[in-house]
Structure 1
Amino acid sequence: MKSRVIGTVLFGFGVLALVFAGGLAFVVAPTAKQIPYDMEMTQSVAEAPNARFMQIKGGTATIESATLRSTVTVQPDADATAKLQGDLDGSALVWVAGQQVQRTDTNELISAYSTSFAVDRETAASVNWADQWLDTGGQREPVSYKGQVYKFPFGTEQKDYEIFDRDILDARPAKFVKTDEIQGLEVYQFTQTLQNETQVLPEDRVKLILGQLLPGATEGSVKYSNTRTVWVEPKTGQFLRVQEQQQKQLVSTDGRSVDILDATFAYNDETVNKSVDTVGGNVLKLDLVGLYGPIGLGVLGLILAVVGGIIVARGNARTAATGVPAQWTGSGRHAAQDEETADATAAADKS
């Protein structure tokens, strides 16, 4: 009796473990592969040593040389996310992001922008949201984001992805290059090449710098090139390292030109180390709920169910072999009493 109870309990725990394994694999794991609503603010710092750049100070534009520091912050907008409707409700998240570029020798601000847009929680690609905006000069302007911006999808593949570029307000392909390794983590390297694009700028701003840097010129544009390389951890889609080789040239319609930016920005060591720590922890969580947890619980559940089933089967086999339930056979003192009763009954029959 006791063995069958133990076997039944073990079998039940085994089935329960198998159910939990399935829940981890098919319910919890997919949820873990989504950007959380309460994600913490992220900050990345890139530096460009010996950069040449245009600086506007007191209304005067000059070409300077110094090390530049770019600081990008990204954080969720809980209020705007809560107001999402239709297909975006539950599947998208609103981000507020910004960048400041400063020269490191004086800490003077060279350029800045802020923006708000919505991304899909699984793919991290921007989605069509009516309230997205971009502010590059003190006024919010409508903008239409597309492609990836600050993150790649969970489960990034070895294929090309489009990355949105703020200077041209459009997305261009970032081609998969190769697999690499950063501090023990496997990464995918992607490179996006922009060549001789036209930077989107207000006409009055272009005329202002034309008049100062190319005297006599009244019309022109800023030509922009950038080789953007990102190293992406594929399970999380997070950036571990980013490098941008940027060039900008002010070109007038009369054929004259002047370089207004020549800089190579790359994540500093602190940002790379922080990214590795964060991503490493996130990879461990994804592996735990999507791989190790289900496998471990599945194996444990299978063992418990099999052992429990064997114990129950053996108990049933022993019962079948006796022909009657064990509790009816008697033992010890009760067995002796049964024999005495049988003898007394036989003697009475003879008399």
Structure 2
Amino acid sequence: MVRMLPKSRVLSILALGLGCILLGVGFVLPRLVDADRPVPLDLGDTQLTVSDPEATIGKAYLATAGEKDPDVITGPVSRNVAVTLGDPSDSDEAAATVGVTTMRDDMAESMGDQAGLLDAEIWTMSVDRYSGEATGDVKVADTLGTPAGEATVDGQWLKFPENTEQTGYPFFDTLLRRAVPTSFDRSEEIDGHEVYVFRQEMDAEPVMEGNPHHMRLTQNVTTEGKDGGPGKSTVSTLHRSGTREITVEPSSGMIVSVREDLHDYYAAEGGAETGLLLDLHGETPEEDRGALLSQAVEVGEDRPVRTWSLVCVVIGAIVTVAAGVVTLRPQRKGRKE
């Protein structure tokens, strides 16, 4: 007759197999599951705003301005970058639609968004969900009634890489249509969380080089001639000077606020300023910064892969040793009849 194994021996063999499985999972898990989290597709706060309650707005933005109207006016202006992530997507990349608008807030409130709109662009691209860099084809629609055109986004723009370092990163400027270097300026503490601040400096940067089709690229300037008659007419081109400070939560690399001190102006061939487009000195409102920081901290939290791995290894080792002892222990012989 075939002798049946005792129930305790069967259970110990099953436990031995389970222990080996737990050991294998514990050792392999860090290689199969990345501890870093990609940027979620369903972010709650997806808009970054820079507001200046007293921006100086040039005549090129004043569609109804006449010759006798002032060359500049003062009013509240906000610049908004709104990001939508969606399909096609995978664990590494996602499709992104980015709306960039410059609004004259007082007119938007009284007459609607369309009346207060100074500039608008819609960008479409794929982005790396870890580094934030654009991948694949990039298109931008920046003129009403015209199809989107090909474009390039280099450097960082929507976010910085995970585990951002205290070093310089090129940061994309939408007006210049190219990345401008930044330098690490300082670290700060906001609501108990450390953030990094990067500073970008621009000095008389010509818009024509990277954005030759900008709808407000040029401005005609006519000097007064002798005896009050018409003088010489020249063409000035758009330039940008100023600084930008980008505040980043380093674990996630997500941008939580921006400070801009930008002077967009027209300059003649020799570099002399001939007119103003926009002079903006604004920053992200504090309440928006708090919400973006809380979200960034949550995204930056690593998956507890190492903890899970250690737990599996420890439990697996205990179960394997205990089950092995029981399984290999000699069986007692039964009494002979």
1:45 and 2:49 matched? yes
Q: Is the 8 A contact 1:134 1:143 kept in 2?
A: no
1:241 and 2:257 matched? yes
Aligned residue number for residue 294 of structure 1: 306
Select 1:176's aligned residue among 179, 184, 189. Answer: 184
Scaled by the length of structure 1, the TM-score of the pair is 0.74
Distance 2:64 2:314 in 1: 76
Aligned residue number for residue 107 of structure 2: 106
Aligned residue number for residue 84 of structure 2: 75
1:133 and 2:149 matched? no
Pair 1:10–1:97, CA change in 2 (3 A): same
Aligned residue number for residue 164 of structure 1: 172
Q: Any residues of structure 2 matched to 1:219-298 within 5 Å, and which?
A: 219-253=235-269, 255=272, 257-284=274-301, 287=302, 289=303, 292-295=304-307, 297-298=308-309
Larger % of strand: which?
2
Q: CA deviation at 1:275?
A: 0.8
Select 2:162's aligned residue among 151, 154, 158. Answer: 154
Distance 1:233 1:314 in 2: 51
Pair 1:234–1:136, CA change in 2 (3 A): farther
Select 2:200's aligned residue among 192, 202, 205. Answer: 192
Q: CA deviation at 1:266?
A: 1.1
Q: Which amino acid aligns with 1:103?
A: R
Aligned residue number for residue 335 of structure 1: none
Distance 1:257 1:9 in 2: 85
Q: CA deviation at 1:233?
A: 1.8
Q: Is the 8 A contact 1:16 1:301 kept in 2?
A: no
Once the two structures are aligned, what percentage of the paired residues are identical? 22
Q: CA deviation at 1:227?
A: 1.2
Q: CA deviation at 1:250?
A: 1.8
Q: CA deviation at 1:9?
A: 4.9
Q: Deviation per CA, 1:187-231, whole angstroms, max 9, x where unpaired?
A: 22221211110123548744556469xx95421112211312112
Q: Is the 8 A contact 1:41 1:73 kept in 2?
A: no
Q: CA deviation at 1:265?
A: 2.3
Q: CA deviation at 1:123?
A: 2.1
Q: CA RMSD in A?
A: 3.3
Q: Which amino acid aligns with 2:62?
A: I
Distance 2:50 2:215 in 1: 30
The number of residue pairs the alignment matches comes to 308
Q: Which amino acid aligns with 2:206?
A: T
Q: Secondary structure at the match of 1:127?
A: strand
Pair 1:153–1:256, CA change in 2 (3 A): closer
Q: Secondary structure at the match of 2:157?
A: coil
Select 1:29's aligned residue among 34, 38, 53. Answer: 34
Larger % of helix: which?
1
| Runs of at least 5 residues in structure 1 that lack an aligned partner in the other structure | 83-88, 320-324, 331-337, 342-351
Aligned residue number for residue 21 of structure 2: 16
Q: Is the 8 A contact 1:7 1:307 kept in 2?
A: no
Aligned residue number for residue 344 of structure 1: none
Q: CA deviation at 1:312?
A: 3.6
Q: Any residues of structure 2 matched to 1:300-315 within 5 Å, and which?
A: 300-315=311-326
Deviates more, 1:191-200 or 1:8-17: 8-17
Distance 1:127 1:192 in 2: 23
Find the structure with the greater CA-based Rg: 1
Q: Is the 8 A contact 2:23 2:317 kept in 1?
A: no
Distance 1:10 1:183 in 2: 49
Q: Any residues of structure 2 matched to 1:335-346 within 5 Å, and which?
A: none
Q: Which amino acid aligns with 1:115?
A: W
Pair 1:132–1:49, CA change in 2 (3 A): same
Q: Deviation per CA, 1:289-326, whole angstroms, max 9, x where unpaired?
A: 2xx3432x33332332333344345436753xxxxx32
Aligned residue number for residue 226 of structure 2: none
Aligned residue number for residue 96 of structure 2: 95
Aligned residue number for residue 63 of structure 1: 72
Scaled by the length of structure 2, the TM-score of the pair is 0.76
Q: Which amino acid aligns with 1:246?
A: L
Distance 1:58 1:238 in 2: 40
Q: Secondary structure at the match of 2:156?
A: coil
Q: Secondary structure at the match of 1:163?
A: strand
Aligned residue number for residue 130 of structure 2: 122
Distance 1:26 1:281 in 2: 23
